[in-house]
Structure 1
Amino acid sequence: MKQMSTRSQVIWWGAAMAALLLTLWLLGQAILPFIIGAGVAYLLDPLADRLERAGLSRTASVVLITLVAVMAFVGFVLFLAPMIVRQATQLVNAAPGMIEQFQDFMIQRFPGLLPEGGTIRAGLNNLAAAIGERGGEIIGSVLGSVAGMVSVIALLVIVPVVAFYLLLDWDRLVAHVDELLPRQHAPTIRRLAREIDQTLSGFLRGQGTVILILGVFYSLGLMLVGLPYGMAIGIGAAMLSFIPYVGVLIGGATAIGVALFHFWGEPVWIGAVIAIFVIGQVVEGNYLQPKIVGNHVGLHPVWLLLALSVFGSLFGFVGMMVAVPLAAALGVLVRFMTEQYVESPLYTGRQREAEQPLPVLVELVPDGTRDALRRRDGDETGPQADHGKMR
């Protein structure tokens, strides 16, 4: 059978990738629950494997995981989500007044810094007006779009069902996909798939654990010191922590700003708010990130932000859902192509040497050895026997 050329394979696989992206763009909202379900199954598969090794069957492991996950999600929707949304809305509505009070305070204490008609003063006025006019609209539109695309039925019915069945058959699906790999490139594809899995799982599971820990720490800490909107600020700072220093800077600046207005004249509580974010940053940088996420993930924050921006603009909310796995896959493929480029003539400037055939081993024996061996083995001699042997 004639072997397919590399160019033909590239064309076929490029067409398959284009068809996949077109499907994402056309189906969008319809396939979103299935994408979420597949992502949940992928994240929970190691836990199911661990329960299997502990003695449970695959079915019992999946049922237990599904029940716990559904209960946790329902608890979040019923108890935490309304509080977070309410506090975030109140914070946005209160922000213009805080900015105006800060501006009045600065004018009274340091009139030279904010002259009438100055750039800083105009910028503060514009910021307060923008937050007051657009802040509530942004929260409402975000919540409305998410609620529209991820409907209650999809979250409560389709996603758990898809995740359950995919998690139940995950190992068989992986084995079946492995059987369908093109045989010529199967070892390379398996190697790239392992690297993508290490990058993606390390980032999602590791960073998700870090966000959960920081969210609990920031929220409880700010609520214990009595800071208004403490849960919303803590959750927001934790969710932004996947970008180094951005979460602590934005969350810390917001918390300290609120503390200055709420605890004015009480420096102990203002210092407590600052200490919460300092401790959180120290623990995250020196323990959580190195121990949980590690340095082997290889998913740079700038690369992740670019993927979220590009795929989100192209495919909407569905694109943002698949941006992280696609960013991980593209990062591994770029590193692989870089390795191939460094070894290619395009980089070295030298053509690769053709593979030399294996040498043929020739054994030299004294004359008469062949006839002696034949007589020893009882073979017939003579031209007729030789002719029969050669046939």
Structure 2
Amino acid sequence: MLLTDTQRQALLWLAVAAAAWWGVSLLAPVLLPFVLAAVMAYALRPVVDALARRRVPRWLGAGVAIALLMLLLLAVVLIIVPVVTQQWPLLREQIPPLLERLNAALVPLAQRHGLDIAIDVEGVRALLRRLISGHEGQLLDQVLASLRIGGSALLAVLGNLVLMPVVAYYLLLDWSAVVARVLALVPPRWRLAVDGLAAEVDAVLGQYLRGQLLVMGALAVFYTAGLALVGLKLALPIGVFTGLAVFVPYLGFGLGLVLALLAAVLQFQSLTGVLLVGAVYAAGQVIESFFLTPRLVGERIGLHPIAVIFALMAFGHLFGFVGVLIALPASAVLLVAVRRLQALYVSSPWYRLREAAPPRGED
């Protein structure tokens, strides 16, 4: 059986796609820092371009942009680490009295309804003694020993952390040249269509990034103000951290909630204070899920609020945590492709013939 030119071309493209998929799967650990560096460079490119328009040399603008990003990440780490290290040891002393007061209110109420319910405060106290033994120095020695055993893995992680900003810096310097070289690989007969698709994808992803930054800023203000209103002393660091961490859906919110509840338990030592902090986070989650993200992110990339929620669930189910991270930007790219396919379908002779065909019974 002889294959037509179209069939041979289709088989060739399938072979190329299979080889590319195999190569990416084989080199995934090596490619990861380069992919993250490319994402970093893409996100920082508007900043570098804006500095270049103000006659700042591109090498200097790229260095300033990456330095600012690194300082922002360092500031987030410096915000969260002191909160945890200062308050974690206090849990052993503060939680049992809180549970005893809860027992004092819960047990009479349960007995009134014929129930024998009580919290095992001594069991919780023993558990806290095992978890928070006070020998943090020994724990640090064990961690350092494990790091010495797995020194190669540690060096690999540190190497990637250094490699990513370096690669991002060189990508920012030569961004236009890199894009031009990639587009030069496209066959000339497809170049016009690919240029248009790339421009539309770039516009959609830019709108996504701007929308996500607005969501992060709004939530940082909301959580800081809400926690301050309920009287939490650490409202500023925890609120800012939660707002910035929502860039990672679910995980960022969960970490902020845990930190806030931990601070509330240690400061208020009452169920009322903990519930008030929980109410602030419940309100923030409702505002973020049903208003801010669908409106500021979903509408900017052309996704319906239901589609935003579906994308997060679908990508999370298919790809796990990484899928949750890439759900919205990947959906924006797919939306561009779907729009192009819809335009081709609507303009195709098959669609127009179906549209012009008379209904049955009118022949």
TM-score, normalization by structure 2:
0.63
- Aligned twin of 1:125: none
> Are 1:61 and 2:61 an aligned pair?
yes
* 2:216–2:244 contact (8 Å) kept in structure 1: yes
Compute the displacement of 1:33 (Å). 1.4
**Residue ranges of structure 1 left out of the alignment (5+ in a row):** 122-127, 137-143, 354-391
Structure 1 match to 2:71: 71
Within the candidate set 164, 176, 182, 2:181 is matched to 176
Q: CA deviation at 1:40?
A: 0.7
Distance between the aligned counterparts of 1:184 and 1:113, measured in 2? Answer: 79
Letter in 1 for 2:333: A
Deviation (angstroms), 1:192: 2.2
The corresponding residue for 1:24 is: 24
Task: State the shift of 1:267 in Å.
Answer: 6.6
Tell me if the contact between 1:202 and 1:297 (Cα under 8 Å) persists in the aligned partners. Answer: yes
Give the corresponding residue for 1:386: none
Structure 2 counterpart of 1:337, which letter? Answer: L
- Structure 1 residue 174: Cα displacement: 1.6
1:383 maps to none
Q: Are residues 264 and 329 of structure 1, via their aligned partners in 2, closer, same or farther at CA, if it must alter by over 3 Å?
A: same
Q: What is the Cα deviation at residue 47 of structure 1?
A: 1.0
Quickly say closer, same or farther: Cα 1:185–1:352, change in 2 above 3 A. farther
Task: Look up the SS of the partner of 1:31 in the other structure.
Answer: helix
Q: CA RMSD, aligned part only?
A: 5.4
TM-score (normalised: structure 1)? 0.60
Deviation at 1:199, TM superposition (A): 2.6
Residue 337 (structure 1) aligns with:
341
**1-side partners of 2:87 and 2:45: how far apart?**
34
Pairwise CA distance, 1:207: 0.9
Q: Which has the larger radius of gyration?
A: 1
CA distance in 2, matches of 1:254, 1:73: 18
1:202 aligns with 2:198: no
Shift of 1:44: 0.7
What one-letter code is carried by the residue in structure 1 that aligns with 2:159? I
Match of 2:137 in 1: none
Structure 1 residues 32 and 86, CA gap change in structure 2 (3 angstroms): farther
Instruction: Give the distance between the partners of 1:92 and 1:202, measured in 2 at CA.
Output: 43
Output aligned runs, 1:1-391, within 5 Å.
7-77=7-77, 79-83=78-82, 86=85, 104=103, 105-110=105-110, 115=115, 151-155=157-161, 157-215=162-220, 217-219=222-224, 222=227, 225-226=231-232, 231=237, 235-236=241-242, 239-240=245-246, 259=264, 263=268, 274=279, 290=295, 293=297, 295-298=299-302, 300-312=308-320, 325-344=329-348, 350=354
Structure 2 CA distance, aligned partners of 1:170 and 1:66?
A: 15
The Cα of 1:46 is off from its aligned counterpart by 0.9
Q: Which moved more, 1:106-115 or 1:23-32?
A: 106-115
What is the Cα deviation at residue 194 of structure 1?
2.4
For 2:79, give the aligned amino acid: L
Which consecutive residues of structure 2, in runs of 5 or more, have no partner in the other structure? 119-123, 133-146, 148-152, 358-363
What is the alpha-carbon distance in structure 1 between the residues aligned to residue 325 and residue 291 of structure 2? 30
Percent identity for Structure 1 against Structure 2: 27
Partners of 1:215 and 1:238 within 8 A in 2 = yes
Report deviation, 1:80: 2.5
Distance (Å, rounded) in 2 between the aligned partners of 1:18 and 1:267: 59
Number of residue pairs aligned between Structure 1 and Structure 2: 325
Shift of 1:39: 0.7
For residue 325 of structure 1, report the CA deviation from its aligned partner. 4.7
